[in-house]
Amino acid sequence: MSNGGIDEAKQRARPPSIVLTPGMPVAAAATHALQTGLAALKFYEPAALQGEIEGIHQFRVSVRRLRAAVELFVPVLHANRVQFYRADLPLVGHCAGAARDGDVLQDLIRSNAKALDPMSARALTPVYQALADSRIAAMRELSNFLQSKRYAKVCERLASPLTRKFPPDADLRRMAPRLIEPIIRICLRTGARLRPESPPTAFHRLRVRLKRLRYALEMLDPPAGKHASKMIKRLRKMQDELGEHQDSVNTGIWIRQFARTQPPPETVLAAGALMQYVGERRVKLAARALHQWKKIEHSGILIKVIGDFTERSQLDEVPSAE
C-alpha cells in the first residue's frame, strides 16, 4: 500500500468534473453528467486498485457524485436505468468504502488515543493490526469486484444512459427547478425530524441527503444566484460536522465488534476507554450539527434556492416575434 496520494502523473492530469451549462438540452445534460462521472471513476480506478489512500477516497467520492447525478436526473432517465443505478452503484461504493473506512478509523483511533494515558495507548497495538488485516481483506474484495462482469455492466450502462424524450426547448435552465426541488424538499423533510435525542442513523440520513444536494448544486454551474453559492458553502461546513459524527459512530461500532474477538485484557480496557471518549465526542458533534441545521432551516435559504432556479428558468420566456 502506498501511503501517499495519487502519483505525480495523476496530479498533473486533472480528473474530469461534472459541470453543466444552462443552455444544454436536458437529456444531453443527463448523459453528459453520467459519462463524465464515469470518466472520473475510471481516472481514480488504478490508484484505488493500488491501495493508495487518496485514490480510494476519490474513487468513493466519484461514486457518490454519480449517485447524486442519477438522483438529480430521475425525471430525465428511463425508470429501468434509474432502478439499475440505484441497485448497483451502492455496491461499487460499498467495496471502496470498506477500505476507505478502515483508513479513516485508523487515523481517528490514533488521533483520539492521544487522550489516553501512554500505557493504554500502547495497549491498542492489536487494534491497529486488526485494522490492517481488515484493510487487506477489503482491498481483495475491491479488486475482485472491479474485475467482475457486474462492474463492467455498471460502466457500460453509465457510458450509454437511456433518457426520456423531451421537446427541443427543454434545456437545463427550464428544467432545473423540477430537478432540484425534490432533492431540496427531501432534505427539509429529513431535517425536520431531527432531534437532540435522534439516533445516529437519523444524522447519517441527513448527511447523505445534504451531500447529494451539494453535489447537485455544484453540477448546475454557474449556481443560480447568491443563495445557491451560499448554500454550497454552508453544506460543506455542515458535512464536516456530520462526517466527523459518522466517523465517531463507525469507530464505536468497530471497537465493539473488535472486543468480541477476545483481545488481551489490557487492550479491552484501553479500547473501552477509547470508546467512551469517542462516544462523548459524538454527542458534542451531534449537538453542533443539529445547531447548524437549525440555522439553515430557519433562514429559509433552501426555499430561496428553489426560487432562484425558478426565476432563472423564466428569464427568457418572452413572446417571440411573429
Of 173, 191, 195, 174, which Cα lies nearest the Cα of 183? 191
Cα 168 from Cα 190, distance rounded (Å): 35
Q: What would the grid cell of residue 236 be?
A: 460543506
| DSSP codes joined into one string, 108-153 | HHHHHGGGS-HHHHHTTHHHHHHHHHHHHHHHHHHHHHHTSHHHHH
Tell me what the mean pLDDT of segment 241-253 comes to. Answer: 91
For 82-137, the pLDDT digits (tens) are 999 999 999 999 988 888 888 888 888 888 888 888 888 899 999 999 999 999 99
Q: What are phi and psi of 199, to 5 degrees?
A: -70, 160
Residue at grid coordinates 427543454: 170
Tell me what the mean pLDDT of segment 32-60 comes to. Answer: 95
pTM for the predicted model, two decimal places: 0.89
Q: What is the pLDDT, as a whole number, of residue 14?
A: 82
| DSSP codes joined into one string, 89-119 | HHHHHHHHHHHHHHHHHHHHHHHHGGGS-HH
Q: What is the pLDDT, as a whole number, of residue 225?
A: 66
Q: What is the pLDDT, as a whole number, of residue 5?
A: 52
Tell me what the mean pLDDT of segment 56-77 comes to. Answer: 96
Q: Residues 95, 146: contact at Cβ < 8 Å?
A: yes
HSE-CB for 221 with a 13 A CA cutoff = 8
For 175-219, the pLDDT digits (tens) are 999 999 999 999 999 999 999 999 999 999 999 999 999 999 999
**Sign of the CA dihedral running 41, 47, 48, 53:** negative
Q: What would the grid cell of residue 204 be?
A: 447519517
Band (pLDDT 50/70/90 cuts) for residue 221 is low
With a pLDDT cut of 70, the percent of the chain lying above it is 92
What domains can be seen in the chain, in order of their start residue?
15-312 (1.40.20.10)
Of 173, 282, 182, 286, which Cα lies nearest the Cα of 225? 173
Burial level of 130, CB count in 10 A (0-12/13-18/19+)?
Answer: middle
Q: What is the pLDDT, as a whole number, of residue 118?
A: 87
Is 318's pLDDT higher than 50? no
